[in-house]
Chains A and B, each alone.
Chain A
Amino acid sequence: MSRIREVLGEDPEIVLAERRYDWISKVLPKVMRGARPITLSDLLDKALLDKYLGIPIFLALWWALFRFTFDVSAPFSDLIDMFFSRLGEAVEPALGGGVLSSLIADGLLGGLGSVLVFIPPIFFLFFGLSILEDSGYLARAAFVVDKILYKLGLHGRSFIPMLLGFGCNIPGVMACRTIDREEDRLLTIIVNPLMSCSARLPVYVLISSAVLGGYAAAGIYSMYIMGIGLAIAMALLFRRVIPYFRGRRSAFIMELPLYTVPTLRSTILHMWERGVLFLKKAGTVIFIGVLVVWALSSFPWGAGLEESYIGMLGRALEPLFRPLGFDWRGAVALFFGFIAKEIVVGTFGVIFGAGGEASEEEIADVIRSENIFTPLTGYAFMAFTLIYIPCVATVGVIYRETNSWKWTLFTVLYELLLAYFTAFLIVSVGHLLGFS
């Protein structure tokens, strides 16, 4: 087929499709008169799908979505934060000291409370995403990005699974079933976890509000862009390096729905369907994870935090993370983040909540005052969180969808290495540029 491709200058499949459309556009004037009046939808498409404007508009809308998410949700988060603090203050004296009191105050209220604070941003993120989807823009975004993806050697159909990955990597990986070529499908599955799912958001919010100051929103936004960039880079790399992924891609055709004004009802319904998944996870996996962290940090009973089991684990892991500038607490948080990313925040909650109530504000204060992260290492920590293994559940789904331990293990390993390498690069380059 390569000789024919040379003669035609392009993939025969594409040339055939083009010639069919050429034929149609030559015939149309002969059988049809009158022009369709230009609708608002056409005008919008002219701008939103423009060769040069399309991408900047996409990025601007994405940025607006994040500002909306964080600015609007902040007061709600503060309310939940306050509620858990007050509850902790009220409950602890009533229970007296001892194991039970610590379990409830530090473990449950401290750990779970610090995760539940993120209900508002997650719901608002889904609210905004639902508006973009229901209005018809998200399909256009797929179209705009597809052009780039195709040039980069990725498949156009990969975009929707990648987009879903922003919500949660599990449906993202599962949506790869719509990709018909096995090689394209597998490639999309193994880079999907690089899309920043909503579970990473709490980590970004916590760390960036603690150490990035006025640049917090930009720092969070950059994580999403970094995820996209790395996913593309990895896909390109794997296509080049791994023989299995070489080969041709098939074309991408999709119908663009008409623009509509989204109704509040359907937007809220969409938001609820997705947001509730987070609540369920908080009630199960995160709940158990946080209890494990509490137990490890409280025993041997009476010992200080640094002498507890979690302290020992942290000390053991610390040398590994030293070059990245993370201390034993960061190491432990990342370790437990393997179960689910929300537990990273929950772990900080339990560790710093040793005094009883740990509000988001207070965790951030501790991070600052104890110098756990500098702006630079904090940013590296966020990047590490973005890149390494999403969560146990995603690993399970990757195995189920690829039906191969080899590729599952490969995904876990390359992500760990990439996370480490990227964080190291951020810290090193940052130091060279004079950041601390």
Chain B
Amino acid sequence: MAIRVALIGNPNVGKSLIFNNLTGGKAHVGNWPGKTVERKEGRCVYEGVEMEIIDLPGVYSLTANSIDELIARDYIVEEKPDVVVDIVDASNLERNLYLTLQLIELEANLVVALNKMDIARDMGYEIDVKALSEILGLPVVPTVATTKQGMDELKKAIIKAAQQRGRRRIRHISYGKDLEAIISTIEEILKKDRVLSSRYPTRWLAIKVLEGDEEVLRRIDRSPVKAELMEVLG
């Protein structure tokens, strides 16, 4: 069975280049079902392991506010790819990590590709890849997509992550005492809905409920715990 890999990242991080590097430029291009957003798929074989690679739309965030973000997020939540590669612009870490945090919340099986390392260096940044990997609790691979640097390491990391799938502990960030209390209250209620909690990460659902995410609220609308939830939300 081929490993199903999804590529995600902010716009202009070099995602397409990495896709081309991994697949050799051979892609099947179509549309997402019922949408006018382009869907690109390709294959990659490394050391006898086959990978199916799908290119998700470039997004800054994973809200329900735009079609691109919804497509990316639905794919991760519903199709549950084996590995999600989050391509991060090393020269713009602050903005890019925002998406990474949301992917952690989604409990995707993540590998971070720290791209544009050359540009970051030229700008005078020195990034401690190991420290970043430890803090995030994720494998981080430095790459330079333009010169194909780090591509083999990335493939290795993807294969390794696929093997460890489900066995890695997810390190969630703390939102602070006040918010964490609210989040865990909501989460406890959501856990009572077996159908919902078996399909989606409950912490993510709780955060989305708190954000007033319309898509998620719609899913909860039919849940038996809805009344209890509404009581807490006030």
User: Which residues of A are interface residues toward B (Cβ below 8 A)?
Assistant: 1-4, 7-8, 12-13, 15-16, 19-21, 23-25, 27-28, 30-37, 180, 248, 250, 253, 255
Closest partner residue, chain B, to A37 (CB atom): B124
B66 is an interface residue with CB less than 8 A from chain A: yes
Contacts of B1 on A, CB cut-off 8 Å? none
Report the separation of the CA atoms of residues A392 and B127 in the bound assembly, to the nearest whole angstrom: 59
B: contact size bracket: 20 to 34
Min CB distance A198 to B, Å, is 30
Chain B proximity of A208: nearest CB distance (Å): 43
Which single residue of chain B is at the shortest CB-CB distance from A9?
B178
Closest to B123 in A: A36
State the Cβ distance, A115 to closest chain B Cβ, in Å.
39
Say if the beta carbon of B125 comes within 8 Å of chain A.
yes
Q: Contacts A1-B233, A13-B212 known; list 8 others, CB within 8 Å.
A: A8-B179, A20-B102, A23-B101, A24-B98, A27-B135, A32-B126, A34-B125, A36-B91
Q: Does B234 contact A (CB under 8 A)?
A: yes
B211 adjacent to A16 (CB under 8 Å): yes
Contacts of A180 in B (CB 8 A): 65-66
- Measured in the bound complex, the distance between the Cα atoms of B59 and A255 in whole Å is 11
B49 interface residue, CB < 8 Å from A?
A: no
Contact of B175 among A3, A16, A255 (CB under 8 A): A16
Given A32-B126, A37-B124, A255-B60: A16 touches B234 (CB 8 Å cut-off)? no
Shortest Cβ distance from A13 into B: residue: B211
Do B125 and A32 touch (CB < 8 A)? yes
12 contacts between A and B (CB under 8 A): A1-B234, A3-B233, A4-B182, A13-B212, A16-B211, A19-B176, A24-B93, A28-B94, A35-B124, A36-B125, A37-B123, A255-B60
By beta carbon, the residue of chain A nearest B212 is A13
The answer to whether A23 and B233 touch across the interface, beta carbons within 8 angstroms, is no
Show the binding face of B for A, using Cβ within 8 Å: 11, 60-61, 65-66, 91, 93-94, 97-98, 101-102, 123-128, 131-132, 135, 173-176, 178-179, 182, 207, 210-212, 233-234
CB neighbours (8 Å) of B135 from chain A are 27, 30-31
| B94 surroundings in chain A (CB, below 8 A) | 21, 24-25, 28
> CA–CA, A61 to B211, complex, Å?
38
Q: How far is the CB of B86 from chain A (nearest CB, A)?
A: 14
B131 near A31 with CB under 8 A, answer yes
CA distance A12 to B66 in the complex (A): 20
Q: How many whole Å from B65's CB to the nearest CB in chain A?
A: 5
Using Cβ atoms and an 8 Å threshold, which residues of chain B touch A248?
212
In whole angstroms, how far apart are the Cα atoms of A19 and B176 in the complex?
8
- Min CB gap B118→A, angstroms: 14
CB <8 Å contact, A24 and B101: yes
Residue of B98, B173, B178 touching A8 (CB-CB under 8 A)? B178
Majority secondary structure, A binding face: helix
Measured between beta carbons, the chain A residues less than 8 angstroms from B128 are 30-33
Evaluate whether A33 and B97 lie within 8 angstroms (CB atoms) in the complex, with A1-B233, A19-B179, A23-B173 already known: no
How many A-B Cβ pairs are below 8 Å? 86
Contacts of A15 in B (CB 8 A): 179
* Contact A1 to B212, CB < 8 A, known contacts A20-B101, A31-B135, A35-B124: yes
Bound complex: CA of A34 vs CA of B98, how far in Å? 21
Cα–Cα, bound, A8→B102 (Å): 21
Q: How far is the CA of A231 from the CA of B95 in the complex (A)?
A: 33
Q: Are A12 and B234 in contact (CB under 8 A)?
A: no
- Nearest CB on B from A20, distance (A): 5
Q: Are B101 and A31 in contact (CB under 8 A)?
A: no
| Chain B residues whose C-beta falls within 8 Å of the C-beta of A16 in the assembled complex | 175, 179, 207, 210-211
CA distance A12 to B183 in the complex (A): 11
Do A3 and B234 have beta carbons less than 8 Å apart? yes
Tell me, in angstroms, the Cα distance from A7 to B132 when the chains sit together: 33
User: Which chain B positions have C-beta within 8 A of A33?
Assistant: 125-126, 128
B177 to chain A, nearest CB (A): 11
Instruction: Write the nearest CB–CB distance from B130 to chain A, whole angstroms.
Output: 9
**Contact call B176/A4, Cβ cutoff below 8 A:** no
Contacts of B123 in A (CB 8 A): 34, 36-37
Contacts of B60 in A (CB 8 A): 253, 255
Chain A positions within 8 Å of B210 at CB level: 4, 12-13, 16
A365 shortest CB reach to chain B, Å = 55
A19 surroundings in chain B (CB, below 8 A): 175-176, 179
- Say yes or no: A31-B61 contact (C-beta < 8 A), given A24-B97, A24-B101, A37-B124: no
Residue of A nearest to B64 (CB): A180
Closest to B11 in A: A255
Residues of A within 8 A of B11 (CB): 255
Alpha-carbon distance between A147 and B160 when the two chains are bound, in angstroms: 46
Contact A21 B126 (CB under 8 A): no
A412 to B36 CA separation, bound complex (whole angstroms)? 34
Complex alpha-carbon distance, A32 and B175, angstroms: 22
